[in-house]
Amino acid sequence: PVLPPTMEGFVVRYANGFRVKVKGEQYAELFRAVSSFSAQVVLEAMRSGHGDFFVTLPEELRPLADAIRAQIVAQIATVQERAKVLFAAAPRTTRKDFALWVKENARPELQSVLFTLLDGREPDWYRLVDVSQLG
Q: How many CA atoms lie within 13 A of 12 on its CB side?
A: 5
pLDDT tier, 54 (very low <50, low <70, confident <90, very high otherwise): confident
pLDDT tier, 134 (very low <50, low <70, confident <90, very high otherwise): confident
Q: How many CB atoms lie within 10 A of CB 7?
A: 12
Contact 41, 61 (CB under 8 A): no
Decide: pTM greater than 0.85. no
User: Angle formed by the axes of helices 39-47 and 62-89, to 10°?
Assistant: 60
pLDDT tier, 1 (very low <50, low <70, confident <90, very high otherwise): low
66-90: per-residue pLDDT in tens? 999 999 999 999 999 999 999 999 9
